[in-house]
Chains A and B, each alone.
Chain A
Amino acid sequence: MNECVLVVDDDREIVKAIALLLEKEGYQVLKAYDGLEAQELAAEKPVRLIIMDVMMPRLDGLSAVMKIRERKNIPIIVLSAKSEETDKILGLSMGADDYVAKPFSPQELAARVKSHLRRYTMLGDIHAESMEDSIQNGRLCYRLSERTLYADGEPVRLTATETRIVELLMRNLGRIFPAEEIYSRVWEEEAFSAENTVMVHIRRIREKIELNPKKPEYLKVVWGIGYKMEKMQDYR
């Protein structure tokens, strides 16, 4: 294993902390403290993933991402103190694969690193699979024949009810379902206290599939309307 991860931030303590965390997870960590350094390291070493801060001296993170992206197709996670939607979209459109707002939870970051690396290494396998049988959405993949949801290529353990909810939502990516509809289609009963029941299940599914269940990316509540599975956009 020992995949090589490059961590770039002008704050040495943060770099150290991330490095410590990732080393514990069994990754080999390279450290850089500005954009130029990161660019050099990325060119020299067999880096498999880069964690890059945005605001840095000499060369800022986003420019460095663009430069690196010219030659390498590895996953890049951008860190930023700015948490606004526009900053996130800007970062993703510059070639980053993921965006994590500061202050982040180290565990979440570690989970994301793991997820991206898995997907990166499994990319070939996924494409080899027959696409008709499965529904691909970001790091999630639902295989219809197996009635199984895969996250980063690993099967997620879901109960029968959860599986049916996931199947309904995965088959209709982006469509908003009112709680009553989910209830009647999954339980095949007249809805009773649908909101609570559905919400409990949604929360449980989130725990299993989301990297940060408190800030879900896939299974979202559309407030005042219903629930949906976000259709992830591939920025690459």
Chain B
Amino acid sequence: MDTKWKKCRIIVSFTAFFLGMTLLLVNFFSMLRLLAETDYQAGSDYQRTEEFADYMSGCLETLISAAAGGENWDGGSYSSDTAAGYVYEEAVSSEAGGFDFSDWMRSTFGVSVGSTEVTGETTAEETSGVQNSRENYRDSYMEELSEDRNILFAVMYQGELLYTNLDGLTAQETEEEGTPDFASYLPEEEYNFTLCYNAAGDGKVEIVKDGEPVDVYGDGIYRQDSRWQVPGYANFEAEGNAREAVVFLAAAREPRLYMETTAQGTIQRGGTLYYIQENLRNQRWLSRVEAVRVGAALLLLLLAFCLRASLREARKQIGSWLGKLWIEGKLLVFWGIPFLFLFVGFLTGSLGLMLSQGTGLALLFWLLYFGFLDRRYNKGRQRSLLRPFRESLRTRDLERPLQKRLVRRQWLAFAPCLLLLAVLAWFFLLLWDVMYWKAVVLLLLILLICGVLVLGCSLVYLKKNRRLAEDIGALADRIARVRAGELSEQLELPEDTDLREAAENLNEISQGMEKALEERTKSERMKVELVANVSHDLKTPLTSIVSYIELLQQEEELTEHVRDYIRILGEKSERLKNMVQDVFEVSKAASGQLPVHLEELDFGKLLRQTLADMNVQIEKSGLFFRVAVPDEPVLIRADGQRLYRVFQNLIQNALQYSLKGSRVYLTLSEENGTACASVKNTSAAELDGGVDFTERFVRGDLSRSDGGSGLGLSIARSFTEACGGKFQVKVEADLFVASVTFPVKPA
């Protein structure tokens, strides 16, 4: 239950985080844009929007110029507010002798405005033709404008009413009185906005909204952000003919669409105000929706924040899921796509647009988020498609000698330079006749020179390092050879190389080792020679002793006790003889000069033969031998004669030191490719567990009163080791265990 709840929490926390973040990101920029665009001053009244002010100003401009008979109908853009505005301004400013607008336009945009030049150069006939078409345009424009009942107007010039769509106001009525009260012709409820230009002949505009006059000019200076772009400012005045015109405009409270069906089809008349109103309403609704979305996103994020422990758990789990994916795929998706996105955005210059689209931003965010998550939780233990390939490469690399490996690694640094140069050369060829070549050639030449320099430096570096790599390799090889025992060689490196000193040190070390080894060999040889000489010197008097004892034994007239003395002498001289022989052999074995003749033999058979060979002694000993030697051959490689001596010694040892009437166990077992023969006997004397019985001249009983030389086990160990086997002695209480182990050769 608890785990289920926990799991639930994890899922909820991450879902909340995911949805909240996505919602926030998707709506973030659109919300910002709406916030920036929404005209808060306007409220729900479209007449307070800037669009409305612009439109009305535009209308005014057009109508003034229409009334004043300006040449602004030339542009053929009478329906465009802006173009009309420009022309109007040009007309105004050129008359004022101030800023030459058309010149500015020409130089800036290359647009030909040129109304004055055209008239100046054209003939009189052409001028009259232009005049005609201009009047046609004007008339059709006025006709269209008058169809749009959302905006009512009246235009007067020099006290004469020229155009109007006000009901009840005709040209005749106004003739005698000058400027009439246009407002009185309006249906009050429908038209709550009036704009009147030059009603008082001062070239200023009066605006009345809902019966209240509106402040048009502020401090009387026209600026970029002035709401009303109408004449009457101190720096923006109507001059000349324009001063003769009087224009009245009224706008509907609730603009509607006016449709008209003609022979050409249905035509929509002047919906501008209607759409301004519609836009305003849409915008208000949209910003409300956005606010709700952002609020929801913030709520979800708050929830996720409250469950942040579970969220951490969720991140860990997602990390572990991501760990199961191949790193190549993740790199492509989490880093490749964002990179491509940003790169393409940057190239096409639409990066800002793409990001501000919200969806793109959210996508980018999540890809990078998962990418970072993956890096955080799976660093260093990524699954990779290419890993087997990489590993095989690495193994192959390791198989090469050290110097080759080092040189190959340097290609890693060198190859990119080469590639870069190749790409530059390719660009050079590609752009040779396409681009503005002088600059490109210069640039590429510089790049090429840089590339060649880099390449040259790399080559020098490569060459030097190759030399170093070779030296390192030689040094490593030499170390390996020293390890293998080749000490007399010398490693000569040239004077100027980095590793000269290291090589010299190594040479000295190997020389020192060689010297030490020589001395050791010499001393070993001397030791063996000494033992050989000593044993020779011992053997010569021993020969006399043995011979004369034998002669004594052959004497017939001897008393019984003298015979007994002679018997003792005989026994002891025999023992002395054996000891001298043993000492000689053990010293030879210890110095590693014991010749061994290795051959394949049956371990079991050897043990049976040894037992058979010593059968007489065994039967005399009063001990019981328990032999467990398998009948099937256990093949090992050893020197039979030496191994026989080993077991002869071991059995003799057992016969000599075992407790009377006890059992001796001789077993041979084969296990895991090794054959182990062991002799176990119970000692008659108490054994000291801390004594190494295989040491020379060590014996179980310290009195040394028995017949052994103390060399039996030492010889057994030396001979076993000389044959390549392992000899072990274990003592547990009075149980003495000697074991001989050899690797088994497959039958």
A residues near B (Cβ < 8 Å) are 11, 13-14, 17-18, 20-21, 24, 55, 81-83, 85, 102-107, 178-179, 195-196, 198-200, 203, 221-226
Contact = CB atoms under 8 A, between A and B. Distances in A.
B539 A225 contact: no
Chain B at the A interface: SS class? helix
Contacts of B584: 83
Which of B536, B547, B584, B595 is most buried by chain A, counting CB atoms within 10 A of its CB?
B547
A203 B614 CA distance: 11
Contacts of B612: 195-196, 198-200
Given A21-B550, A199-B615, A224 B609 contact: yes
Which of A18, A106, A223 is most buried by chain B, counting CB atoms within 10 A of its CB?
A223
B61 to A, nearest CB: 127
16 contacts: A11-B543, A17-B544, A20-B551, A21-B551, A24-B554, A81-B535, A81-B543, A102-B542, A102-B543, A103-B539, A104-B546, A106-B547, A179-B609, A195-B608, A195-B611, A226-B605
Nearest to A221: B609
A43 B641 CA distance: 42
A31 to B, nearest CB: 14
A184 B269 CA distance: 134
B530 to A, nearest CB: 15
Interface of B: 532, 535-536, 539-540, 542-548, 550-551, 554, 577, 581, 584, 595, 599, 601-603, 605-606, 608-613, 615, 638, 640-641, 643-644
A81 B615 contact: no
Contacts of A13: 544, 548
B550 A103 contact: no
Contacts of A82: 532, 536
A199 B613 contact: yes
Nearest to A223: B640
A162 B426 CA distance: 101
B540 A225 contact: no
Contacts of B577: 103
Nearest to A82: B536
A24 B638 CA distance: 46
Nearest to B588: A84
A18 to B, nearest CB: 7
A18 B547 contact: yes
Given A199-B609, A225-B602, A105 B550 contact: yes
Contacts of A105: 546, 550
A17 B550 CA distance: 9
Contacts of A14: 540, 543-544, 547
Contacts of A203: 613
A223 B427 CA distance: 86
A132 B221 CA distance: 153
Given A11-B544, A200-B615, A106 B550 contact: yes
Contacts of B595: 85
Contacts of B546: 103-106
Contacts of A198: 612
Given A24-B554, A85-B595, A221-B613, A102 B638 contact: no
A9 to B, nearest CB: 9
Contacts of B581: 83
Given A103-B539, A196-B615, A224 B548 contact: no
Nearest to A79: B543
Nearest to A85: B595
A178 B631 CA distance: 13
| 3 nearest A-B pairs in the assembled complex, by CB-CB distance | A224-B601, A223-B640, A199-B612
A79 B611 CA distance: 33
Nearest to B612: A199
Contacts of A103: 539, 542-543, 545-546, 577
Nearest to B610: A223
Nearest to B550: A106
Contacts of A199: 609, 612-613, 615
A53 B638 CA distance: 35
A102 B547 CA distance: 11
Given A102-B539, A107-B550, A223 B544 contact: no
Contact of B540 (A20, A102, A179): A102
A17 B609 contact: no
A20 B612 CA distance: 38
B639 to A, nearest CB: 9
Contacts of A222: 640
Given A104-B546, A223-B609, 13 more contacts: A20-B551, A55-B536, A102-B542, A103-B542, A103-B543, A179-B609, A199-B613, A200-B612, A223-B601, A223-B606, A223-B641, A224-B605, A225-B640
A82 B533 CA distance: 9
B551 A17 contact: yes
B613 A106 contact: no
A183 to B, nearest CB: 12
A225 B601 contact: yes
B576 to A, nearest CB: 9
A191 to B, nearest CB: 10
